[in-house]
A = this chain, B = another copy of it.
């Protein structure tokens, strides 16, 4: 059974706690649970983690290189600033799906550029917690080799 690392960057541990009216009631724990259910249905194992430390995120991506078959990454603020994360992803040589809860392109200008995108197979943003589930579905197909990779 394939393993997927689902890695979350800085401040994502605060989800659901602050301002539920705005950000939704889902905590990161709730998202993990939804991922577990969807992963089970897709016959995938997941390892779900969060860190506020860039170096930790790099360590985990390097670990994925050895122990995982794919990465789903919501790098939070590091998305826009961390070249080290990009380099780790490039070295990992695994399918990567980039996820953002909000549509980053409707936020401040400095959130429009993503280093992660340069190493990601696909990007899903603006779909909240559901984005993680869709990312799992995408990973499942990529791993099944039934990518039907069309381009435009």
Selected contact of A55 from candidates B56, B80, B91, B138, CB within 8 Å: B56
Q: Which of A80-134 contact B (CB under 8 A)?
A: 80-84, 86-88, 91, 93, 100-103, 105-106, 110-114, 117-118, 120-131, 134
List residues of A whose CB falls within 8 A of some B CB: 9-16, 18, 22-26, 31, 51-56, 58-59, 62, 65, 74, 76-78, 80-84, 86-88, 91, 93, 100-103, 105-106, 110-114, 117-118, 120-131, 134, 137-138, 141, 147-152
**23 contacting pairs across A/B (C-beta < 8 A):** A11-B58, A11-B91, A15-B150, A15-B152, A22-B151, A23-B150, A52-B62, A53-B58, A54-B84, A76-B84, A77-B87, A78-B84, A81-B82, A103-B117, A103-B123, A105-B114, A106-B118, A122-B124, A123-B124, A123-B125, A124-B124, A128-B151, A129-B150
